[in-house]
Structure 1
Amino acid sequence: MIATAYPLLKVFDRLLPPAVRAHDTELQGARQLSLLAAVTAGSVPLLTVMYHLLGYDAVGMMVITAGIVMMVSPFTLTAGAGLPLARDLFVGALFMLKIGMALQLGGIGAPTTPWFVLCPAVAMLIGGLRPGLVWGALVLVALVALFVLQHLGALPPAPVDPDGMAVLQLAGMIGLLALVALIVALAMGAAATRGR
């Protein structure tokens, strides 16, 4: 399946500048970034409606704001920004979104906290080990800070809505599973392409 699905990423090539298309590694990373931005474009409206229906409009607005930045990140390549900057723009928006969500939805115990794992995963997929480790370290610092702030009483209390939190936990785990599967499939497709 991976071998047949991976060539579909070529659909994004016309959006990419010739300088990026000239280098296989950058082209691969730019395609992956473009696919992740497209997935973001599809999920932002759904997530925003879900948060609105659950009564978390502030979180929905954060999703829209971060989603716009994430969707624009591949277009920065056309503006002359390099792949590392476009990648870090995407991952940085995701990182700030997760921090904002944790602050609104219960700190370290928020149902969206496991999504922090996507920051180093996406950075590693697009940029390799070093960016993945850097973003992993930043996530670790953020998680420890959230833990400490929560235990000091410096964070707002978690929302008291067991049904809403259960829906968020279910939706969050299903979404996270789907995105991790996509990232692994992209990584395997990239490895298969390099192996040829």
Structure 2
Amino acid sequence: MATADIQTNVRIPRELKERLEAAAAADGRSLSSEFTVRLTFAYEAEAMLKKAHAEIDALLVMSKELRAMVDEARTDAMKARTAQALAEANAMALERDLQQLRTTQAAEAQDARQGLYVLLDSHGYPLSWAEIHEYLAAMKRIGGLSPADMHVQIVTPDMESSSKRAKEAVALAKRLRAEGKSRPIPKLS
């Protein structure tokens, strides 16, 4: 029977040959069989080592990708925490501004309630503008109010103004505007 094996001569160091002979004797093989087993094992081990290196390289790539994903997630988390902190700071600032606005509005409402509303009526006849000016000047001295800050209501029996009062009101408005103490007042008819 013919075998497919080929015979070849190989030069190896003496110490290696002695080690191969001892291993062959221990395993119950011939020197040729031991040499074939050991050489086959070396090639298989080399192929397994190459495969292991390829798997390690693939794992390293995956590890880098995972590390990048973790870093991105950390960055996103830090951005989210920063955005949340900013939103909370903005909410606190808005709440503070709203509270200041409420306080200001409450103070203005209180001022409006405490404002000086004068009903000028003399037994069914309006006071003269000279008397009205006298009252306004007294209120300014006592209360520290300017005519532009005062809310004055003049009531006549028929709730209408006379043409003389209308002219005097226009003159008063012009004078106050010239002094910078009043906004434009609409003409009275």
Which structure ranks higher in relative contact order (CA pairs < 8 Å, sequence separation ≥ 6)? 1
What TM-score, normalized to structure 2? Answer: 0.24
The structure with the greater share of residues assigned to helix is: 1
What TM-score, normalized to structure 1? Answer: 0.23
The structure with the greater share of residues assigned to strand is: 2
